[in-house]
Amino acid sequence: MIRQFLCVFPLLLLNLLFWSCGENSAPGLDQAYYRQWRHYLGDPGRSHYSTLSQFSPENVARLTVAWEYDSPDFGQMQMSPIIIDSVLYGVSAALRAFALDARTGKRLWLFGDSLKVWHSTSRGLSYWESGKDRRILYTLGPDLWSLDARTGKPDASFGQGGRIDLRSGLPESTREKFVISNTPGTVFKDLIIMPLRVSEGAAAAPGDIMAFHIQTGKLAWAFHTIPHPGEMGNDTWGNPDTYRSEVVGAANNWAGMALDPQREILYVPTGSAAPDFYGGLRRGQNLFANSLLALDANSGTLLWHYQFTHHDLWDRDPPAPPNLLTVERGGKRIAAVAQTTKQGYVFLFDRVSGEPLFDIEERPVPASTLPGETSWPTQPIPVKPAPFARQSQDLTEADISPYAPDRDSLLQVFKRADKRQYAPPSLEPVLLLPGYDGGAEWGGAGADPEKGILYVNANEMAWFLQMEEVAAEHASLSPGEQTYRRYCMVCHQAGRQGMPASGFPSLLGVGSRLTAEEIAGQIAAGKGMMPGFPQLGQAERNALVSFLLQQEDKQEVSESGPSQAVPDPTPFRHTGYNKFLDANGLPAISPPWGSLSAIDLNTGEYLWQIPLGETDSLRALGYPSTGVENYGGPAVTQNGLLFIAATKDGYLRAFNRHTGALLWEYKLPAPAFATPAIYEVGGKQYLAIACGGEKLGTEKGNKIIAFSLEEP
């Protein structure tokens, strides 16, 4: 007891100091701070953490539904709500923003153009206040909107009628390109700094990090993740003009950022450069793609950086915002930043100096054999912590799933695949484990920021990576089919049969479901996980639609001339996001297929690791827990709980965060591929979560559900 007090006392003092700094103060042990869930994932350090203590390991099994809100739109919600005072703000599956009474779930306002339904994925929204102004900022398509938090009405002083086009801060050449944002911006003083989602193929927009003034919508600063001539790193792209390339782009921050408000430093993980899997047009290390950037939040000036994957050929973007936490080394407390990766690593740095807190080795990796490609000779591997997911080079023939009915044929496929770590893409299949989505994924890791513990949920799904030669394609293919192969095949497959198990629908017979106009609209704007292709000219788009409707023989010469496919700028292309599955559609490697780990970042050692989630068909046969695919993150309480849904099996679970023991589970009406929020109103504490389902072929839902303790 006394020891505990001695630890806490200096922290309390520190916290008081922080508190006096105002709105963006670092979370400490202050209950008032945690009554709200003001920021995406709880706080600017993205800790997913709360000191509220009404729920405890002893009583969590008594949680019941306090209220449910039925959104007007059904479908996937990745959204983690924010709660300010007694109001919960969220975004629906069709990207409508809403405000609810956080005690009852009663709707206060709804905003969004219901005529132009953008159906994308949104992870939430941001809040800003100054004097009497209170605003909600969120994105719909390429537009960032500023709304009055009380009424949901657009704020007339922001941009044009309450919105700015995110492309307004990018070079002129990107005006027709696909640029949206699915992750809430980070608010610092009167600035909002925006994540971007852009194309991952050829013709991607550059992924500049942009800060906008919240009072006006004007660009305050931009950091060029693909450096312009004269800027550091410009010489790592093979061509000084790559930043305005018509083909190469991205290196965007799509996963969101973390902020240290006291030090005024922004931590920004950047994604891979596009095109993703062929790098012959971007020779070199490709700074600042796949990096963690520490930027001065006032100016965007680079303070330090670390690159996790050099010249990325595997789409190894850091998938989540970093976590800010404090670790102890030799009796000293160090402000640290931890970044989880798709590869299954946690990289830990001193937040100020950027020095790694566990050694990182540059290890030699296999060289590419694709003509025109030069893979980077080494990749960084942290010596600690050990990876939180198995990696392809760990697998042996004994790791084919014991539940697979077609073991022998899976074994043949397995033997043929290249399983070396960082095996470069080639004309032969490479087994990618963890898969394209990680390892860690966008829901992010939770943390105990005071004690330096990280809680990471991860996927352990093997996928294939294989390239094909573009020129090998039959020149006799119609222009529509050539365009299809260039832009669409990677997800919808060469034969248009899609990959339903990966979430990519079949386009066979699409004409019976959608009109030509609807298809053209979806191609331009994108939908859900599908990016938009606004850069396609009318002729290309017409040819593509005719190909999908199988009406090519009927095709007329349009005003813009006869249909012509624009040649693919890369000599090789990716053949598709294929999962390694057995004949039952279950993962072809042995479980666990999804996991949850608690890692002590003071020592780099694991506290525990468990499979996360159940495969219903195997559970029914009495098999042990397999863990399942999961998207969405945990929420952690100071007094010992970890809440997480995320799993395909549709449960919300509570674990003892010190031991990993399951304490409670609740079957949701649809899976929640989202991160919960914890808050208090009127003395009562709640946990809220969005359950939209749809992903991974699950049922669609539309509810936000809040849980609380039943009255004694």
Q: Closer to ligand HEC at the Cβ: 531 or 591?
A: 531
Q: Closer to ligand HEC at the Cβ: 515 or 558?
A: 515
**What is the smallest separation between the CB atom of 425 and ligand HEC, expressed in angstroms?**
17
Longest dimension (CA), the chain: 84
Q: CB count, 10 Å around CB of 712?
A: 5
Q: Compute the distance between CA of residue 678 and CA of residue 297 in angstroms, rounded to an integer.
A: 27
**What is the smallest separation between the CB atom of 163 and ligand HEC, expressed in angstroms?**
24
Q: Closer to ligand HEC at the Cβ: 295 or 519?
A: 519
Q: Among 72, 280, 354, 505, which residue sits at the site for ligand HEC (rule: CB under 6 A)?
A: 505
The tokens describing 268, both together, are 């920004």
**What is the smallest separation between the CB atom of 475 and ligand HEC, expressed in angstroms?**
21
Q: CB count, 10 Å around CB of 319?
A: 26
Asked whether 141 and 180 are in contact (CB, 8 A), the reply is yes
Size, binding site for ligand HEC by CB under 6 A: 22
Q: Compute the distance between CA of residue 488 and CA of residue 497 in angstroms, rounded to an integer.
A: 12
Q: Closer to ligand HEC at the Cβ: 140 or 268?
A: 140
**What is the smallest separation between the CB atom of 577 and ligand HEC, expressed in angstroms?**
7
**What is the smallest separation between the CB atom of 410 and ligand HEC, expressed in angstroms?**
25
Q: CB count, 10 Å around CB of 244?
A: 14
Q: Which residue has the closest beta carbon to ligand HEC? A: 528
**What is the smallest separation between the CB atom of 465 and ligand HEC, expressed in angstroms?**
15
By the rule CB under 6 A, 320 interacts with ligand HEC: no
Binding residues among 475-494 for ligand HEC as defined by CB under 6 A: 487-488, 490-492
Q: CB count, 10 Å around CB of 252?
A: 29
Q: CB under 8 Å to 548, separation ≥6 — which residues?
A: 480, 484, 496, 507, 510, 511, 519
**What is the smallest separation between the CB atom of 419 and ligand HEC, expressed in angstroms?**
25
Q: Compute the distance between CA of residue 177 and CA of residue 218 in angstroms, rounded to an integer.
A: 20
Q: Closer to ligand HEC at the Cβ: 523 or 645?
A: 523
Q: Closer to ligand HEC at the Cβ: 154 or 503?
A: 503
Alpha carbon distances (Å) from 290 to 311, 318, 339, 610: 9, 6, 11, 29
354-357: long-range pairs with CB below 8 Å, 24+ = 354/294, 354/303, 354/304, 354/305, 354/306, 356/306, 356/382, 357/327, 357/329, 357/601
Q: Compute the distance between CA of residue 226 and CA of residue 674 in angstroms, rounded to an integer.
A: 31
Binding residues among 508-537 for ligand HEC as defined by CB under 6 A: 510, 513-514, 519, 522-523, 527-531, 533
Q: Among 154, 366, 380, 503, which residue sits at the site for ligand HEC (rule: CB under 6 A)?
A: 503
**What is the smallest separation between the CB atom of 545 and ligand HEC, expressed in angstroms?**
8
**What is the smallest separation between the CB atom of 636 and ligand HEC, expressed in angstroms?**
31
Q: Closer to ligand HEC at the Cβ: 237 or 487?
A: 487
**What is the smallest separation between the CB atom of 92 and ligand HEC, expressed in angstroms?**
14
Asked whether 469 and 427 are in contact (CB, 8 A), the reply is yes
Asked whether 429 and 416 are in contact (CB, 8 A), the reply is yes
Asked whether 72 and 110 are in contact (CB, 8 A), the reply is yes
Q: Closer to ligand HEC at the Cβ: 171 or 528?
A: 528
Alpha carbon distances (Å) from 611 to 458, 590, 627: 10, 12, 4
Q: CB count, 10 Å around CB of 3?
A: 7
Q: What amino acid occupies position 537?
A: G
Choices 146-154, 283-291, 500-508, 644-652 (CB under 6 A): range interacting with ligand HEC = 500-508
Choices 234-242, 270-278, 499-507, 568-576 (CB under 6 A): range interacting with ligand HEC = 499-507
Q: Among 18, 349, 504, 673, which residue sits at the site for ligand HEC (rule: CB under 6 A)?
A: 504
| Residue 181 backbone phi and psi in degrees, to 5 | -145, 130
Asked whether 572 and 469 are in contact (CB, 8 A), the reply is yes
Q: Closer to ligand HEC at the Cβ: 82 or 581?
A: 581
**What is the smallest separation between the CB atom of 96 and ligand HEC, expressed in angstroms?**
16
Q: Closer to ligand HEC at the Cβ: 411 or 516?
A: 516
Residue (of 135, 189, 203) closest to 531 by Cα position: 203
Q: Compute the distance between CA of residue 206 and CA of residue 212 in angstroms, rounded to an integer.
A: 17
Q: Closer to ligand HEC at the Cβ: 120 or 630?
A: 120
Q: Closer to ligand HEC at the Cβ: 33 or 178?
A: 178
Alpha carbon distances (Å) from 623 to 357, 629, 696: 40, 17, 22
Q: What amino acid occupies position 68?
A: E
Q: Compute the distance between CA of residue 252 and CA of residue 269 in angstroms, rounded to an integer.
A: 8
Q: Closer to ligand HEC at the Cβ: 35 or 96?
A: 96
**What is the smallest separation between the CB atom of 344 and ligand HEC, expressed in angstroms?**
23
**What is the smallest separation between the CB atom of 182 and ligand HEC, expressed in angstroms?**
13
**What is the smallest separation between the CB atom of 141 and ligand HEC, expressed in angstroms?**
15
Binding residues among 539-568 for ligand HEC as defined by CB under 6 A: 544
Q: Closer to ligand HEC at the Cβ: 695 or 703?
A: 695
Residues near ligand HEC (CB under 6 A) are 487-488, 490-492, 503-505, 507, 510, 513-514, 519, 522-523, 527-531, 533, 544
